[in-house]
Amino acid sequence: MLVVSPIMSATESGNHIRNLILARPSIDRASEVRADPEKLAELWKSARIVILAGDKFQSSSDALTLMSSTEIDKLQGAGEKYFLGIDRSDGQSYFAWHLPALDSENPQFHTLREVGANLSDLEAGLAVHAVALGNWHRVHPMCSRCGAPTRVDLGGAVRICDVDQSQHHPRTDPAVIVLVKDHDDRILLGHQPIWPEKRFSNFAGFVEPGESFEQCVVREVAEESGVVVHSVSYLGSQPWPFPASIMIAFEAVTSDVSTAKADGVEITEIRWFSREDMKRAVETEEILLPPRISVARRMIEHWYGPGALEDLQGGESWRA
């Protein structure tokens, strides 16, 4: 039987990861406005609007392209309107306008993976909110109860079925991601077969029904790497709308490294790294690290400590 120790708060552990790229401060979502159609219509007139097409948004390599409602009215084709919130510093309102997917090669549209790390705090917050909403709306056009078409309501925060009057709310799937350490402060990373060759990262998995975050940490690490962990502590969280997750980051310790073995299915190779091992492996391109936009990369850098940005400058990779 696996026993999980009580989770430590960020204040108690003093180990909270800050400045996660997709979890930076942004605007007030102003949820009280969503139920007021007249107020939403008024805000739309002076809004700055993110243009979505599928899971991409219009931008340059380092800034969102924000349009006015007048410019949106000139666009060809139908779209859906989502309220993103209000910047309380100047009263500016922001919306997203969601179009059907465009040609994937359209150079004016980019994914969060491509440009998210280059956006300002405000723009990153707008983009991640817009993409998360767009992903959900795109795949939930029908009522899950009766199969009838649904429509957008509450500024994009819900879909309504007019046949059975049910409301359908956007979902976020929680997934834990774990920095596994031993008593020598080495970290254990794994390679998944769906990743490019040499890509190593932390262990992660979705929380199952009836399972706590801490229980999921212990289960996922044991399933994928063979080690049993304890001293589970919270590091931070970041939305991950690919397509609808939030990554909850933890670190945990194992007292027995002898059981470490890849499961051979989800994880095909595991390796222990000291800081010296990590620096050398990155310098020699022996391994690829997760991309900087990910919480996985920030967890590794956080563990590495001072010099991480200089020493871990090697290649990075998404999935194949």
CATH of 34-139, one of 1.10.155, 3.90.79, 3.30.200, 3.10.450: 3.90.79
CATH 3.90.79.10 placement within the chain: 10-19+172-311
Instruction: Indicate the pairing of strand 245-254 with strand 173-181.
Output: parallel
Burial class (CB in 10 A: 0-12, 13-18, 19+), 303: buried
Phi, psi of 131 (to 5 degrees): -65, -40
pLDDT of residue 234: 97
Give per-residue pLDDT as tens, 10-44. Answer: 333 458 898 899 998 889 999 999 999 999 999 99
- Identify which has the larger pLDDT, 78 or 317: 78
Checking phi first, is residue 186 left (phi over 0); if not, alpha (psi -120 to 50) or beta? beta
**CA–CA separation, 43 vs 18, rounded Å?**
32
Structure tokens given for 100: 């059907």
pLDDT of residue 60: 95
Which pTM does this prediction carry?
0.90
Q: Which of 40, 41, 46, 239 lies closest to 130 in space, CA to CA?
A: 239
Taking residue 210's Cβ as centre, other Cβ atoms within 10 Å add up to 6
Task: Tell me the pLDDT of the chain averaged across its residues.
Answer: 91
Q: Is-cis flag, bond preceding 290, omega within 30?
A: no
Considering the domain 10-19+172-311 in this protein, what is its CATH number? 3.90.79.10
pLDDT of residue 14: 58
